[in-house]
């Protein structure tokens, strides 16, 4: 990937640094946008990560951001920072298709909550990134836009379903992305493309406007699915999460829990558990060696490091159970495609099995679930 040194400083900068540089007048929002549009023009033909671009509207908003800054008017922490969005978030005036042919050309009338919050924070939306059809695959390909390739190796997949997001971010075509994750759709592409991704706790980020629904049927996925940031630094994840998290009036299941800035504790106050892999899953030797070396470095730095004693669970079976639960939720309005509709009893039993797995895994951490568990501000216990 060839770029000039000046351009590389812009397109591979962190969101935090870009926003600070724009605020300080070291570079204009218009210049930052043009650098990313140029990167898209150079590399997207090979990657096919960005599916929709509205350069005109983005340029208009970037110029407005520069004019506002000249008047000492700040829109928010992302003032003037360009970005793309996974083609699952509804975007007013810009197509949202989820790679699903019946939605080809569908243009939502209003933004999703996440889209709206990013704009309110000052972000400049450039376009959308590719997904598998209806987000239903671990690689990224669909009949509308085709296949997305991994920027590190064009013959490989960037993963899915946030594959276009990950490929665009890793190749410098966007400073950040917002993925979605029901079954590793943030975590897998972040891993495949060498990025940081966060799947937050359920019901911390509003799902309103995720996957357009022109027919207005009730939302079937009411659990497990999460929206979270993807970035090239952990610091950026924290910034973006604070922007998108919190309740709204559209997703009533998001609780009014404050999004605090959590102080970073010193290593000698951390108690860290690690595992080389889950029981029954092979791990590559270089991955195992890297995990063990990290554990040794943390131990030498003063942390209390212990290898976790994982419960004897059949993870293949538990993954199959998770797939079954997802199928129950998604299939709730597709009963004609099922030989026997799922009963309420079957659904509740599937939730009960998931609860039992959560309980057994949570027992790894001392005090988990007890009334005397230290508060979130006490970092003497840090379940990582």
Average pLDDT over residues 245-262: 90
Strand 177-181, strand 226-231: pairing: antiparallel
Looking at 244, 273, 292, which one is the last position of a domain? 244
181 in the same domain as 324: no
341 in the same domain as 209: no
Q: Is residue 382 part of a domain?
A: no
162-176, 198-212, 214-228 — most confident range: 162-176
Sorting pLDDT into bands at 50, 70 and 90, what band is 203?
Answer: very high
Domain span holding position 344: 315-362
Alpha-helical (H) ranges within 71-125 are: 113-120
Q: In the prediction, which pLDDT does 5 show?
A: 58
Looking at 244, 276, 291, which one is the last position of a domain? 244
Q: Is residue 368 part of a domain?
A: no
22 in the same domain as 142: yes
Looking at 186, 213, 244, which one is the last position of a domain? 244
Domain count, the chain: 2
325 in the same domain as 234: no
234 in the same domain as 322: no
Contacts of 118 (CB under 8 A, 6+ apart): 78, 83, 85, 125, 178, 243, 244
Q: Is residue 162 part of a domain?
A: yes
Sorting pLDDT into bands at 50, 70 and 90, what band is 29?
Answer: very high
Average pLDDT over residues 9-26: 96
Q: Is residue 306 part of a domain?
A: no
Residues 242 and 259 sit within 8 Å (Cβ to Cβ):
yes
Burial tier of 224 (Cβ tally within 10 Å: 0-12, 13-18, 19+): middle
354 in the same domain as 234: no
Task: Residue 25: give its domain's CATH number.
Answer: 3.90.1300.10
pLDDT in tens, 96-112: 999 999 999 999 999 99
348 in the same domain as 218: no
334 in the same domain as 216: no
Q: Is residue 254 part of a domain?
A: no
- DSSP H or E run through 274: strand 271-274
How many other β-carbons are positioned within 10 Å of the β-carbon of residue 285? 8
- Which sequence positions are flagged as catalytic? 86, 161, 185
Q: Is residue 251 part of a domain?
A: no
Q: Is residue 213 part of a domain?
A: yes
117 in the same domain as 26: yes
**Percent of the chain with pLDDT strictly greater than 70:** 92
323 in the same domain as 238: no
Q: Is residue 283 part of a domain?
A: no
pLDDT in tens, 307-326: 998 888 888 888 888 888 88
For the entire predicted model, the pTM comes to: 0.89
Burial tier of 256 (Cβ tally within 10 Å: 0-12, 13-18, 19+): exposed
């Amino acid at each position: 990937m060839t770029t000039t040194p000046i351009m590389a400083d812009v397109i591979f900068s962190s969101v935090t640094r870009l926003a600070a540089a724009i605020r300080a007048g070291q570079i204009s929002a218009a210049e930052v946008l043009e650098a990313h549009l140029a990167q898209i023009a150079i590399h997207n033909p090979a990657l096919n990560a960005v599916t929709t671009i509205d350069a005109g509207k983005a340029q208009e908003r970037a110029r407005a951001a520069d004019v506002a800054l000249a008047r000492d008017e700040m829109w928010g922490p992302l003032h003037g920072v360009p970005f793309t969005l996974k083609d699952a978030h509804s975007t007013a005036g810009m197509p949202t298709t989820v790679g699903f042919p019946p939605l080809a050309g569908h243009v939502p009338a209003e933004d999703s909550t996440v889209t709206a919050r990013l704009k309110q924070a000052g972000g400049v939306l450039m376009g959308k990134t590719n997904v598998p059809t209806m987000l239903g695959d671990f690689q990224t390909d669909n009949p509308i836009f085709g296949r997305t390739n991994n920027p590190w190796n064009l013959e490989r997949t960037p993963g899915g379903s946030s594959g276009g997001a990950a490929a665009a971010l890793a190749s410098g075509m966007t400073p950040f992305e917002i993925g979605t994750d029901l079954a590793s759709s943030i975590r897998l592409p972040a891993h495949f493309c060498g990025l940081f991704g966060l799947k937050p706790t359920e019901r911390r980020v509003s799902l309103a406007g995720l996957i357009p629904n022109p027919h207005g049927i009730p939302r079937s996925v009411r659990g497990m699915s999460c929206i979270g940031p993807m970035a090239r630094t952990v610091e950026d994840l924290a910034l973006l999460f604070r922007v998108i998290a919190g309740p709204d009036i559209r997703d009533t299941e998001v609780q009014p829990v404050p999004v605090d800035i959590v102080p970073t504790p010193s290593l000698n106050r951390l108690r860290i558990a690690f595992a080389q892999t889950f029981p029954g899953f092979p791990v590559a030797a270089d991955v195992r060696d890297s995990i063990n070396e990290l554990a040794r470095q943390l131990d030498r730095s003063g942390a209390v490091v212990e290898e976790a004693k994982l419960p004897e669970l059949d993870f293949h079976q538990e993954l199959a159970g998770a797939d079954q639960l997802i199928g129950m939720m998604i299939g709730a309005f597709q009963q004609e495609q099922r030989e026997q509709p799922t009963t309420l009893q079957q659904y509740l039993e599937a939730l009960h099995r998931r609860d039992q797995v959560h309980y057994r895994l949570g027992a790894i951490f001392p005090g988990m679930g007890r009334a005397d568990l230290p508060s979130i501000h006490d970092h003497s216990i840090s379940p990582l």
